Each structure stands twice: as C-alpha cells, then as structure tokens.
Structure 1
Amino acid sequence: MAETERKGVLKTWKDDRGFGFIQPDDGDKDIFVHISSLKGMARRPMRGDVLFYQVGQDAGGKFKAVDARIDGVEFVQEPTTIAKKWIWIVAVALGLVSAAVAAYAFLNN
C-alpha cells in the first residue's frame, strides 16, 4: 500500500542537532522530522520551508516524517556505488604508477 504524500511548513528547526517539527497543512499535530529524512537535498532545511513527506513510525511507535523533501529545493544525487568504486580504482592506479616512476628514477640514478 502506497503512503500518501503530505505537506506542511517547517515550524521549528535546530540545525545544530539536525531535527525539527513540521506543522501539517491538514491541521494534525506537529510531526518530528530528522535531517536523515531529507537525504539528497541541495541545502539544509530552514524554518518556514514547505516540506512534502510521508508519515512513518520510529522504534518507540512515535510518528515521524520520512522520505521528506523541501519544496523548490533541488535534489542532488549522490554518486552511485559503481562511480565511487571507479574513483578508488583510478586513485589506486595513479598511486601505483607514481610509485613505479619514483622507484625507476631512484634506481637509475
């Protein structure tokens, strides 16, 4: 069963602690939102932002916002695992080539 996307305004935000509360547009009670629910946003949230989110529950049964996004803020996709792997392969290869060149230069002097 697909969850309905809800909308609300970020009423409070504690940037140093990475959480705040959303005031839902439908008049429900404020709902907790953690920075981890806003993965991929181009910027951190600010009080007054309009958020779209789904409602989930934490381990203690309390409701919280999940899969949240900030209205009008670009989504920045993180590199895929394959892209990260290639970055490491290239870095290691460059390191090995550098070491080989240095060893060759040292031995031929």
Structure 2
Amino acid sequence: MADTTILKGVLKTWKDDRGFGFIQPDNGDKDIFVHISSLKGMARRPVRGDVLFYEVARDTGGKLKAVNARIEGVAYEQKSAKPKIWLWLLAVLLGLVSAAVAAYFL
C-alpha cells in the first residue's frame, strides 16, 4: 500500500531507453527507483535533473519504489475526447434500422 506522504526529490539518473531511473530524495534518504509507469499522464518524459513529487510503495520483492509521481512544472496530457467505436457502430445500426422501418411503412 502506498504511503500517502508526498515526497520531493531530483531525478538523479534516467535510462530513457529502459524507462526507469532513480530519484535522490530531498530528505537525504537512499535513492529510490522510479519507473515510467509511475509518471502516467505527464506531457513529456522525464530527464535527469527534473524535480519529482512522488509517493513511496513497496514492489512485490519488498523494495521501495516511487508511485503516483509527477514532474514539477510539467502539465498533464489532455486526453482527446475520442468517441468509442461501439458508439459509432450503434449509431449506424440505428440509422439502418430507422431507414428500413421508414421504407417498409412508406
């Protein structure tokens, strides 16, 4: 379970090709692992030297890792409001049924 305390640190190392790095916490604790999946929704990928805000959790092996992380000064990506394909299919189907019913009664 994640600790609800928000911590701050600097991204000390980052391996962009592998999607992970280590944060040097401001409080002087040991460096903490961070995976790209912990930075969901950020408008850009992290780079060395970024200030990160994060929570701490344990992975399945019991090691500490950063979760729910965000990069200071970087906005979240805006999700485009793309309609689901099934809505389009439903609209087309209803249109065809309506046209068939109208043709039958005319």
How far, CA to CA, are the matches of 1:64 and 1:38 in structure 2? 12
Tell me by how many angstroms 1:76 deviates.
1.4
Q: Secondary structure at the match of 1:45?
A: coil
Partner of residue 70, structure 1 = 71
4+ residue stretches of structure 1 with deviation over 2 A? Answer: 89-96
Q: TM-score, normalised by structure 1?
A: 0.74
Identity %: 68
Partner of residue 96, structure 2 = none
Alignment of 1:1-109 (within 5 A): 3-78=4-79, 86-89=83-86, 92=89
How far, CA to CA, are the matches of 1:31 and 1:7 in structure 2? 11
How far, CA to CA, are the matches of 2:35 and 2:92 in structure 1? 40
Q: Secondary structure at the match of 1:76?
A: coil
The AA in structure 2 aligned to 1:53 is: Y
Q: TM-score, normalised by structure 2?
A: 0.76
Q: Which runs of 5+ in 1 are unaligned?
A: 97-109
The AA in structure 1 aligned to 2:14 is: W
Partner of residue 99, structure 2 = none
Tell me by how many angstroms 1:62 deviates.
0.1
Aligned residues: 93
How far, CA to CA, are the matches of 1:91 and 1:18 in structure 2? 36
Q: Deviations over 1:20-45 (max 9, x none)?
A: 00000000000000000000000000
Q: Secondary structure at the match of 1:89?
A: helix
Alignment RMSD (CA, Å): 2.5
